[in-house]
Structures are given as C-alpha cells and as structure tokens.
C-alpha cells in the first residue's frame, strides 16, 4: 500500500498543523475521563518460571519475565547459584525468593531492580555508583553482567528525557557520536567520526543494508519507537554480526511488556508535540496488551509541518515535515517458556527536499537543475524471533530471521527535455541461530549467521544490481575469571560470495578476532583496554552510482579490513564518575566505487584512520545529575584530512566536541528541569578546497532547556515545554556535508525553537 502519494508537493499550513495537534489534544483530553486504577508495578502479579541456575543467567530470565530492568554490582554473581522461582508472584516477591540464602541485597526503584547493594544502603536511581547495567536486559539479552569496553547504552529513561524528534536528538548527549544534517531523512550517524555504514547496524537484532544514496539517510528510523540504543564504539563483539569494522549500533524497539504498568493487561497512550519554529505537529498513537501468553503492540506516528527557519530567521528550503511511521509486534509465550515474536516497522518520508538532500544548495554548471525536488524514502524491517524465556544453564537459544529494505525514488533532471524517475533499493534477508552457555564465571555466546544482500537501481539508461551473500560462525566469551577482572574475547569466520553488475561471481573468506578487559585497580579506579581485527568482505556499492559497464578485473574488489584499539581509565566514588580513553581505528581497502571508469570505477578504495581521546566527568544524586564530556577526533582519508566529499560512506571531520547535560527533579512538585549544551570550537584539520585553501570549520555553541511536569492530580499525564537553540545560533552541525566548499551552502540547523508536548497513558 502506498502510504503517501509521490511526486506531489504539499504546502502545509499553520492551520493544518494546529489541527493535527488539536486532534491529539482532544484524544488526550478524552483519556482523562477514563477511570484507571490498579496496584503498583511492584505488587502486580506475574507468572515466573526460573529454574535454579547461575545467578547471572537467572537474573537475565528474571528481567525478561518481570519486565524490569536490572543492574548488578561488579562480581556479585560470580560463583552464586540462584533459588528456583515459579508461580504467580509480584516482581519483588519473585526477586526475594530468587536471592534467598545468597546474602545478596536488592531494591526495586523506578522500574529497575538493583542487585548487590550493601545491606542498609539507600536506594538510588539508575546509574548508581556501584551498579553496572545488565546490557542483555536492556538490549537483546547478550552481555549478562558485563558491558563491552567501548559500549554506550542509551536506555528508555534517557530517551524519555531527551524527547527525540530525530535520530540526532537520540545522540545529543554523546560527544563521541555525531549526526550530520538537520533533516531526518538525510541524517547519518558517525561514531568517532566513522560513518555508520562501516559499523554493524541492526534493528531488533536484524542486520540493516541501507547504502542507497549518499545524499539521504542510511538508516531512517522514528526515534519514538525506540526502547534503547546500544553503541559499541570501535571494538565490537563477534556476536554483533558481520561487518563491524568500526563497531556496532543496535536499535531496540519497544515491547508491550515495556509499556504496560500497574499490572494491567491492556494499555495505550497518545502523545502530541508542536514545534512553533516550523508549525510542525507530530502525533503518536499506541495500544498494547498481554493475555494468556499473547502480547501485542501497535504504534503509529504521523507528522506534518512547514519549513523551519535558521538562527538568522531565514527559511531553509526543502525542510518541511511529511512523515508516516508504524510499528507492530505480536508474540506468544508457551507454557514451556518458548516464545515466538514477529515485528514489523516502516517509515515513509515523502516531501520536497533540497536537490541534494544533505546540503542546502550546491552551485553546479547545470542550470536546469532545480533547487528542490521530491524525495520519497521508504524503509521497512520485519523480524521473526524465537527465544526460551526459561533458560537453564547451558541452554539459552535464540533464532532470528529478518527481511529489511530501503527504497528511494527521486526525479532525475537531465539536460533540458529529459526528465525521468530513478528508484534505488537495497534489501537484506538475514538470520542467525545462537545459544548462550552460562557458567559460574560468565557465559559464552556461540552461533551461526547469514545474510543475502542486494543493491539495485531501476534506471531507464543505467540499471544494474550487485549482490552479496555471507555465512559466518562465531563465539564470544564474557567472563569474570578472577576477582576484580572482567574479560571479553571472541572471533568469527566468514565466507562471502559477491556478484557484480556483470553477473561475475567472486568469493572471499576471512577471520575476525577481538579481546578486551577491565581490571578494578581499587574500589574506585578501573582500567580497561581492547583490540580487534575485523574482516568484512566486499561491501555493496551505493545504488545511485551503479554503472552497468563496470569492470571488476580478474580478482574482483578487495575485502575490507580494520583494526581497532582502545585504552582507558574510569573512576566512581559516591556518585562521582570520571573517565578518560584513547582510541584509534584503521580501515584498509574501504570500498568507495565511483560511476566513472577512468576514476577507478567499481574497484576504487581508500584507507581511513580515526584517532583521538575522550574524557568525561559527572555527579549523580537521588533526583538529578550533571555530566560533562569532551572528545577530540582527527580523521584522515588516504593520509589527508577527511572532507565531506572524500568521506562519503567513510567518515566526517569532527575535531573537538564538548557536551554538558544536567537535570533535577523537584519531587514535591513532580517537576523535572534540565538541559544540555553542545560546544564545537573552531577546527582547522580540514582538507583543501578548490582554491587550495584550508577553511576551518566554524565554532558554535548551542543551548537547549526543558521542563517536564507530571501533575499529581492527573497522574496519567505528562506535559513538557522545551526551548532548543535558545540563543538563536546560526550553524550547521559539525558532521553536516559541504561546510568546507565554497560552492556549497550547508544545511543549517533550526534557530530558536519552542516545543510543547502532551502525553497521556491509559
């Protein structure tokens, strides 16, 4: 079904946007008349079936069956066996029974079970000084009790606090992760300056293959459907999937169990946000439930709005909002504990955009090209998953099969009188079978995975297709072999078959290995280090530069490889945290094809290096926090400073980024006030422009503030007000294309923007 008509430019009016907001507000107001009452989440009954087993594995099962997040103090689980738990119990009672006789204390606060606190200690919020989040319960049940050395987890509470309207907002507090462009449909994510196409990117554990057109987004995703985001910066574990040259990103979408509260079997919410800068309204509707083993979730978002204005008050052409997004999930858990789930998410962005959608305007010798043209981007992802919700020691299997695709359709303006549509489509069918073997000192995840990827261009003159298939076998161990020591190591063996536009086949094989570890020097200081060597095969080309006349030579394209290094030190003391790390990534033979045969064609490749350091500090108290992060990143391509152009599908110049974030909740008023600051000093490690000059990237400082109120009398409502770019800075984000070239007007970020949000749950 076509969700949005293509090729028709829509002029959204202020009245239309207000009407959408009003519709959402009316729905919210209607919910206020509903009589909703139930027991609290801590006393709600749930069905538990957790056999006696190593504690880390038991807590993994407990987190899934209770719907709670779990934190675990370092080394608490080593050598400990849990009690068996079965029957209909409250989460608190089940946890008490599971830990009975172990001498391990616990508390449940704000939807999080905190395990291993000293007896009599005060309950703290998530991220207390002695707690490490159990990544598998937050994301994909992989790293029980242990985080990877370069891992960043953005959880559900942080996402709610950020109230993201684009993927750029998701990473707003992470100095080491940049997102270029002010348009969601052309935003790309860069980790330590390296583009996400060089990372293993997945949605709900399913591989993504979305290298369609370098002027639009690689993985367009509606942030409102996200439960959490997990980023491995640099060193990724073997079970993150193939192609993790510079790390991995996994987006995890919401489940019914995450949203249901107060022991209810059915629920829903309505949310609506209005942005006064562009008169844009974004409304979300959701319903979800659980009963007799079945669970379901349906979520739908639609957004309409005008073009926004930059800090100078000038309208930025091609930035209007016309977005449709949906997520559906249905699952069933058998009495045996076996669970199956199928999910589907889809997002469609269809509106007039700048002719090159990741830049404001590019002056070219082709005067017939318009300043804007219609883009339609359609990404979808379908995932089938089988898991065992009652794992026992050495048996904790997972089976996943998925199909995903991204399709981009644009009009091509050739010489006068020549106009036609092009459609580029990438697709992937992929899957894996793995099992987690749990021991007293940790676990080993081992399995086999595969993918079948395609890149196809439908063009009346230059149609073509490349294909790649891969089979891999992998294992990753996460162990605490000695007190104060945590190790993670693993490897992969992959075999790939690559097919070019001329239907010639080439095959390659390679090995990947990683090792990392942490050692608690004292009760305060922890040292960490890691290394990985990655083999990623031959990546597919971008669809819109496919040339059916390409010659792949006798041996075909070279496989891409990478080496990653990290060393760091962390400290935690009574709510204070500090960290410092050095990192480096070297990518060899990165494939960056070009249409022209004389310029290297299908075989053009480049070498990439990203290196730098990151430091941070923070303090958390019961009702708030403050954090400061500073990162310095230098990126070179073929030994020269990277530019927006040489970095296509590789990297972006970054330089120095400073982020400051803070928030405090006034509990007597149920009011939270917070904000964040991004500071980007001038940066001169840049490439030469066409005149042989090195024009530094301009400095900018951006301040955002918010206030969120949960009225006691209307405890199912949340009201939020935000001011973004409060000082009306005129700037482009550091990772935005074209800032160093005289013939390019980069896409500016919105100027001062006032946003109001209302949300109601039932």
Q: The pTM is what?
A: 0.84
pLDDT (mean) for 311-325: 96
Question: pLDDT digits over 466-490, tens only?
Answer: 999 999 999 999 999 998 999 999 9
Give the mean pLDDT of 650-668.
95
Among residues 563, 566, 560, the alpha carbon closest in space to that of 488 is found at: 566
| Overall average pLDDT of the 529-546 stretch | 96
- Give first-to-last CA distance, the chain, whole Å: 31
Non-local (6+) Cβ contacts of 532 within 8 A are 234, 235, 236, 512, 513, 514, 515, 516, 562, 563, 564
Among 231, 225, 263, 459, CA closest to 344: 225
Range 568-582 average pLDDT: 95
Distance CA 630, CA 650 (A): 23
177: left (phi over 0), alpha (psi -120 to 50) or beta: beta
- Whether 314 shows a pLDDT value over 60: the answer reads yes
The CA distances from residue 633 to 39, 69, 563, 686, in Å, are 50, 33, 17, 12
Spatial CA neighbour of 386 closest among 373, 402, 404? 402
What whole-number distance in Å separates Cα of residue 696 and Cα of residue 404? 40
The full set of domains in the chain, from first to last, is: 251-501+508-761 (2.40.170.20)
Residue 110 is predicted with a pLDDT of: 55
Average pLDDT over residues 84-108: 81
Q: What is the structure's pLDDT at 715?
A: 82
Instruction: Say how far apart CA 371 and CA 358 lie, in whole Å.
Output: 13
Q: Is 605 helix (H, G, I), strand (E, B) or coil?
A: strand
Check pLDDT > 70 for residue 342: yes
Q: Is the pLDDT of residue 43 over 70?
A: no
Neighbouring-strand partners of residue 499: 467, 505
Q: What is the pLDDT of residue 109?
A: 63
pLDDT tens digit sequence for 228-271: 999 999 999 999 999 999 999 999 999 998 888 767 889 999 99
How sure is the predictor about 27, in pLDDT bands with cuts at 50, 70 and 90?
very low
716-757 pLDDT, tens digit per residue, is: 899 999 999 999 999 999 999 988 888 889 999 999 999 999
Residue 712: which pLDDT band, with cuts at 50, 70 and 90? confident
Residue with the larger pLDDT of the pair 392 and 451: 451
Helix (H) or strand (E) holding 194: strand 194-195
Q: How many CB atoms lie within 10 A of CB 433?
A: 15
At residue 77, the pLDDT reads 57
Cβ 444 vs Cβ 437: under 8 Å: yes
pLDDT for 321: 96
Q: What is the pLDDT of residues 144-196, one digit of tens each?
A: 346 688 899 998 889 999 999 999 999 999 999 999 999 999 999 999 999 99
Give 79's pLDDT tier (boundaries 50, 70, 90).
Answer: low
Read off the tokens for 593: 């094809």
**Alpha-carbon distance values, 59 to 83, 136, 389 (Å):** 11, 10, 11
Confidence band for 615, pLDDT divided at 50, 70 and 90: very high
Query: Does the structure show a pLDDT above 50 at 530?
Result: yes
Torsion angle in degrees (nearest 10) through CA of 546, 362, 649, 249: -120
For 403-452, the pLDDT digits (tens) are: 999 999 999 998 877 889 999 999 999 999 999 998 888 899 999 999 99
pLDDT, residue 393, reads 76
pLDDT of residue 136 exceeding 50, the answer is no
- Distance of alpha carbon 54 from alpha carbon 396, whole angstroms: 13
Whether the predicted pLDDT of 22 surpasses 90: no
pLDDT at 167: 95
The DSSP secondary structure of 357-414, one letter per residue, reads: TTSSEE--S-TTS-SEEEEEEEEEEEEEEEEESS-BTTB-EEEEEEEEEEEEEEEEE-
Neighbouring residues of 400: CB distance < 8 A, sequence distance ≥ 6: 205, 206, 383, 384, 385, 386, 431, 432
Q: Where are the beta strands (DSSP E) in 306-357?
A: 321-333, 338-354
Q: Which helix (H) or strand (E) holds 258?
A: helix 256-259
Q: What does pLDDT average to over the chain?
A: 87
**Rounded to whole angstroms, how far apart are CA atoms 629 and 173?**
8
């Amino acid at each position: 079904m076509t969700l949005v008509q293509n090729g028709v430019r829509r002029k959204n009016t202020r009245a239309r946007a207000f009407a959408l907001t009003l519709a959402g507000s009316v729905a919210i107001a209607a919910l206020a008349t509903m009589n909703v009452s139930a027991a609290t989440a801590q006393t709600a009954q749930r069905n538990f079936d957790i056999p006696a087993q190593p504690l880390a594995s038991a807590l993994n099962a407990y987190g899934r069956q209770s719907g709670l997040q779990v934190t675990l103090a370092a080394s608490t689980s080593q050598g400990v066996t849990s009690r068996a738990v079965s029957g209909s119990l409250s989460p608190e009672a089940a946890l008490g029974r599971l830990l009975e006789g172990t001498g391990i204390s616990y508390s449940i606060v704000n939807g999080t079970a905190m395990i291993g606190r000293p007896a009599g200690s005060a309950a703290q919020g998530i991220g207390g000084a002695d707690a490490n989040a159990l990544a598998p319960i937050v994301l994909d049940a992989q790293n029980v009790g242990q985080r990877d050395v370069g891992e960043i987890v953005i959880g559900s509470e942080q996402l709610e606090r950020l109230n993201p309207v684009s993927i750029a907002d998701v990473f707003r507090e992470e100095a080491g992760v940049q997102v270029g462009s002010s348009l969601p449909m052309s935003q790309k994510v860069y980790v330590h300056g390296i583009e996400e196409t060089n990372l293993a990117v997945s949605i709900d554990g399913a591989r993504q293959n979305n290298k369609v057109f370098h002027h639009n987004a690689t993985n367009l995703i509606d942030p409102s459907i996200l439960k959490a985001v997990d980023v491995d910066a640099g060193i990724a574990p073997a079970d993150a999937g193939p192609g993790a040259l510079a790390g991995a990103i996994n987006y995890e979408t919401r489940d019914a169990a995450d949203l249901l509260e107060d022991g209810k079997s059915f629920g829903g919410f309505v949310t609506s946000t209005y942005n006064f800068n562009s008169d844009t309204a974004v409304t979300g509707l959701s319903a979800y439930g659980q009963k007799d083993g079945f669970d379901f979730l349906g979520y739908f978002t639609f957004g309409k709005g005008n073009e926004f204005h930059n800090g100078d008050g000038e309208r930025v052409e091609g930035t209007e909002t016309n977005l449709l997004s949906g997520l559906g999930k249905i699952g069933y858990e058998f009495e045996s504990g076996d669970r199956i789930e199928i999910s589907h998410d889809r997002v469609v962005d269809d509106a007039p955009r700048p002719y090159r959608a990741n830049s404001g305007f590019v002056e070219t010798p082709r005067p017939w090209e318009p300043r804007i043209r219609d883009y339609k981007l359609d990404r979808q992802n379908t995932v089938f998953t089988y898991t065992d919700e009652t794992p026992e020691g050495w048996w904790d299997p997972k089976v996943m099969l998925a199909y995903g695709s991204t399709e981009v359709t644009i009009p091509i303006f050739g010489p006068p009188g020549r106009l036609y549509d092009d459609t580029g489509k990438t697709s992937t069918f992929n899957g894996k079978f793995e099992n987690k073997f749990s021991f007293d000192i940790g676990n080993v995840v081992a399995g086999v995975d595969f993918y079948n990827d395609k890149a196809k261009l439908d063009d009346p003159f230059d149609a073509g297709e490349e294909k790649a298939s891969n089979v891999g076998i992998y294992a990753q161990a996460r162990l605490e072999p000695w007190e104060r020591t945590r190790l993670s190591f693993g490897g992969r063996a992959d075999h790939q078959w690559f097919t070019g536009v001329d239907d010639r086949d080439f095959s390659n094989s390679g090995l990947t290995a990683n090792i990392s570890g942490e050692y608690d020097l004292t009760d305060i200081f922890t040292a960490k280090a890691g290394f990985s060597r990655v083999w990623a095969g031959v990546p597919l080309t971008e669809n819109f530069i496919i040339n059916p006349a390409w010659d792949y030579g006798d041996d075909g394209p070279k496989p891409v490889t990478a080496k990653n290094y990290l060393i760091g030190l962390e400290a935690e003391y009574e709510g204070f945290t500090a960290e410092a790390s050095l990192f480096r990534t070297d990518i060899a033979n990165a494939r960056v094809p070009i249409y022209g045969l004389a310029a290297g064609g299908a075989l053009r490749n480049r070498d990439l290096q990203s290196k730098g350091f990151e430091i941070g500090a923070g303090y958390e108290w019961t009702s708030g926090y403050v954090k400061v992060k500073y990162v310095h990143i230098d990126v070179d391509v073929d030994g020269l400073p990277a530019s927006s152009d040489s970095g296509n599908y590789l990297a972006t110049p970054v330089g120095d980024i400073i982020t400051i974030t803070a928030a405090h909740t006034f509990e007597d008023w149920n009011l939270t006030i917070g904000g964040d600051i991004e500071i980007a000093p001038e940066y001169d490690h840049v490439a030469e422009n066409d005149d042989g000059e090195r024009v530094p990237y301009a400095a900018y400082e951006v301040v955002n503030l918010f206030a969120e109120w949960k009225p006691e009398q209307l405890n199912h409502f949340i009201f939020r007000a935000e001011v973004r770019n409060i000082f009306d800075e005129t700037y482009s984000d550091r990772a935005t294309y074209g800032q160093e070239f005289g013939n390019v007007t980069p896409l500016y970020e919105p100027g001062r923007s006032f946003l109001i949000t209302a949300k109601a749950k039932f």
